Amino acid sequence: MPATATTSTCTDLDVGDEWLIGVQVIDDAGTPISATVSVLVTPPSGGTAAPTAIQTSTGYYLARHTIALAGRHVAVVTVSGTAVAAVPFTAHATAVVTAAGMPSVADVRAYIGDTSADDTELGGVLAAEAAAQRARCRVPAAYPADLREALLRRCARNLAARRVPVASFTAFEGGGTSTRVPARDPEINRLEAPHRRYDVG
């Protein structure tokens, strides 16, 4: 009993959006058939939700789930009958500062300590560094402590780097020194290493 996705298996949404999770079920001859379809969603905070899969026409099922938290959500559609099939889905909600377990602007301020940056600046730094982390790492549904620490350090490094020239050079009696912002932070690399994305091919 093959089952295939009829909606995107990987999508970006905003908090409050409705996530559409659809599948088609066919028999071995390729004919759409009725089956028992269940959906299990895991939000960033952990736990699960089970939106109802409605049969919109023979063999076609659609579940609707409202995204309440920012972060990575995963869903698995299980189809049972004469055979069992499972179809995975993921969605990422972009308003990261409201996600359970994800750092907030207040968390960034507490981590950095004394700073002249206001909440607007810190919010921009947090959004940029969270996006950079998602591009580099596979972020699980339940945001782990090592990625949280790495994200806070990313924010601290971002603010520190703003106060350092990209490159400077001074010379005295023929000698010279130069200052550059390091391209990598070993501690961020260590914390994010277990979650790193690797390009294949």
pLDDT tens-digit series, residues 165-181: 655 556 565 555 655 65
**Which tens digits make up the pLDDT trace of 94-136?**
543 334 567 889 999 999 988 888 999 999 999 999 999 988 9
The pLDDT value given to residue 15? 76
- Domains of the chain are 3-93 (2.60.40.10), 101-190 (no CATH)
Q: Please give the full DSSP string across 104-159, using - where no structure is assigned.
A: -HHHHHHHH-S----HHHHHHHHHHHHHHHHHHB---SS--HHHHHHHHHHHHHHH
Q: Exposed e or buried b for every residue in 75-105, given b needs 16+ CB within 10 A?
A: bebbbeeeeebebebbbbbbbbbebebbbeb
pLDDT, tens only, 34-86: 999 999 999 988 889 999 999 999 999 999 999 888 788 999 999 986 556 78
- The answer to whether the predicted template modeling score (pTM) of the entire model surpasses 0.85 is no
Q: What is the pLDDT of residues 7-33, one digit of tens each?
A: 999 888 877 889 999 999 998 888 999
List, in order, residues 6 or more apart from 199 with CB less than 8 Å away.
Answer: none
pLDDT at 7 (0 to 100): 93
Q: Supply the DSSP symbol for 17.
A: P
Quick check: 90 and 74 in contact, CB under 8 A?
yes
Strands, E assignment, the chain: 3-5, 10-13, 18-25, 36-42, 54-57, 60-66, 71-80, 84-93, 167-172, 175-180
> Could you report the per-residue pLDDT of 135-156, keeping only the tens digit for each?
899 887 667 788 889 999 999 9
Residue 22 CB neighbour total at 10 angstroms: 21
Cα gap 151→148, rounded to integer Å? 5
Residue 188 parent element (H or E)? helix 186-192
pLDDT at residue 6, as a whole number? 93
Percentage of the residues of the chain whose pLDDT score is greater than 70: 81
